[in-house]
Structure 1
């Protein structure tokens, strides 16, 4: 993607329905995919208004128009549901700012796609869990996301990244990477390869339940990291789910599982000292309690029973993806050191191993809060 110049930013700004005098413009957030800017406008006697302006990454999201159709459809539906429940739609969901031609996106002179959102005031997204209660609040918010979208027809959404959580396909891709071994690395990671292939059945488990109708297809977020929740600065409650780029049809247990994989780990995702890596059962219990509460009775008994498997499968899938990328020469995930993707793979597989050791505890926790 080409460099963003001041001239391009000016062109983009002038094509959105922004009001007032621009008094600040700068990079914003810690995301690695889209280019995000915070703009501050002053409007006479009304004070200052903040907006988010983003250039969408068309190398990751190949169909930005379909992506925005998903976001507009889901946020419009969420606004209606939030109003029905007496909430504040200006703070409890993303609000797309249209262009001057009343479109949800703008295509600039270089062919890049841009979108803009109203800034959610007096709320913060955190990259790490600083307080356990914040992790609980994120669980309630992600669960409430499921609750509010329960009536939305999931099969009307576009698949923004094809096969994103198709674990079976991820295992097939790993096997191809092992066979081709284009970087000559397979000989050095035989333990990791053996670990992945010994658990190959995990790749089929949830997909089979979906096929036979035991798990329903739902609108899912598919990137349930802790930092995709806005925490209200005053109340400490999780008020809004953000980063809806990967909203598409999926499984609620995958959303639960990805959040556990990321948030209940005792170590960072690329920790090299595997003795530090474990799945914290207190955090697992806290998230389970909050997620089930947030879902408000919309989960089926089979979905609730499958929550631990969602955590295990999502962690396994992520490890498989890191291992595949390592074998292929680190072409997908950004790396910052030699063997970075291999370190990431090892932490995920260590988490899977730890979950296996604590399997009965995880099942008991889920039973307790169901």
Structure 2
């Protein structure tokens, strides 16, 4: 069954009266690597419909529970005037359920749509970078008083560099598709970075466990249509217990690269130090009174680990047959991996300049 027909015949009856379904306009929304997302619009109002990838999220009801806790907490903070952004909220079915499990036809949920907003794929100025960091900082800051143990770890080991390197080695040993020979240089680079594991072992016991977003890339912040102001942090699927250094690191990885993460012109892969400084200022403005000394010390490590980790994940998926990230062609994950490994190398080359920005925190 084609997706549009499946949505109309099997999913939307859980949310709309039968007569209301026919005129609805269904269009793909966003370009996420994991879940399928659609905008459902009746011309006057709209909702966002998602099909959760249950390979990535094998217990999707945990995801629903986490996002419900977070949405309610942000709503309370917003009503109290202590959270300035808007927020998405889960939408119940006609039977008052927060998701629809259709078995082989997918696990579906609806969330509110935020009108008059848009996402962007690449920052165009340092003001946007500073605004973005402040918005993500406000998001995790608003959640700082939640006991992180209340939330489920929806993807166990998501931020485990040791686990990611182990998975890479397993995929390389199996080499099911005989792809290792085309990326052996990147594989060797990944394995050469074992010293990061010692740094992590030293700092993580000193860090408070917090509710983190865990996917703080550019297009997970909605801006106003004129790109003047941040409106809302979205895509809360990976919100779960974690450490601030990883949210900061993923933000830097996403925002400070001169080109997109699948750009194949590796000579163009550069780190933009003025954007890094702007992100640092925005993060400090939002979280300066919340971060501990150990968290401040951990931020540069978070930048390095997250960038290397994503490169490792792309390379692992390439070796394993592209089962995790959506790809447009057989070399897509390899191109992404090469790009992120190169970005990691650029970060190391510019370490002294970038750390100087962090010294102001």
TM-score, normalised via structure 2 length: 0.91
Equivalent residue in structure 2 for 1:76, among 69, 72, 75: 72
Q: 1:10, CA displacement in angstroms?
A: 4.2
After superposition, the C-alpha distances for 1:284-332 in whole angstroms (9 at most, x for unaligned) are: 1111111221225211122122212111110111111222223333333
3-state SS of 2:34 partner: coil
Distance 1:296 1:84, change over 3 A: farther
- Equivalent residue runs for 1:145-224 within 5 Å: 145-210=139-204, 212=205, 214-224=206-216
Write out aligned runs for 1:225-264 (5 A).
225-233=217-225, 236-264=228-256
| Post-superposition offset of 1:265 | 0.5
> Aligned residues, how many?
359
Would you say 1:15 and 2:14 are equivalent positions? Answer: yes
Alignment pair present for 1:142 and 2:143 = no
Secondary structure of the structure 1 residue equivalent to 2:26? strand
| 2:338 is aligned with 1:346 | yes
Whether the 8 Å CA contact 1:143–1:291 is kept in 2: the answer is: yes
State the alpha-carbon separation in 1 of the partners of residues 6 and 264 from structure 2.
Answer: 43
Residues in 1 aligned to 2:26 and 2:312: alpha-carbon distance in whole angstroms: 37
**Cα pair 1:168 1:204 within 8 Å, conserved:** no
Question: How far off is 1:154 after superposition?
Answer: 0.8
Question: Greater CA deviation, 306-315 or 289-298?
Answer: 289-298
Answer yes or no: is 1:39 the counterpart of 2:67. no
Judged with a 3 Å threshold, the aligned counterparts in structure 2 of structure 1 residues 263 and 87 are, in CA distance, closer, same or farther, namely closer
Give the whole-Å Cα distance in 1 for the aligned partners of 2:71 and 2:17: 20
Q: 2:62 aligns with which of 47, 66, 77?
A: 66
Q: Distance in 1 between matches of 2:28 and 2:229?
A: 23
Q: Give per-residue Cα distances to partners, 1:314-360, cap 9 Å, x unaligned.
A: 01111112222233333333333443322222221211111112111
C-alpha distance in 2 between matches for 1:153 and 1:356? 35
SS at 1:92's partner residue? coil
- CA distances 1:38-97 after superposition (whole Å, capped 9, x unpaired): 22346xxxxx22222222222322111111000001111111111112667xx6111221
Q: Contact 2:56–2:324 at 8 Å: present in 1 too? A: no
**Conserved? CA contact 2:48–2:113, under 8 Å:** yes
Q: Distance in 2 between matches of 1:107 and 1:253?
A: 35
Q: 1:52 to 1:334 in 2, by over 3 A?
A: closer
C-alpha change, 1:204 and 1:164, in structure 2 (3 Å) is farther
Contact residue 140 and residue 293 of structure 1 kept, 8 A:
yes
Per the alignment, residue 45 of structure 1 pairs with none
TM-superposed CA distance for 1:204, in Å, is 4.6
Tell me whether 1:300 sits opposite 2:300 in the alignment.
Answer: no
Superposition RMSD in Å: 2.4
Unmatched tracts of structure 1, length 5 or more: 43-47
TM-score between the two structures when normalised by the length of structure 1? 0.89
Structure 2 stretches lacking a partner, 5+ long:
none
3-state SS, counterpart of residue 299 of structure 1 = coil
Which 10-residue stretch deviates more, 222-231 or 232-241? 232-241
Deviation at 1:113, TM superposition (A): 2.2
* Equivalent of residue 352 in structure 2, options 352, 356, 360: 360
Task: Say if 1:38 and 1:51, in contact at 8 Å, map to a contact too.
Answer: yes
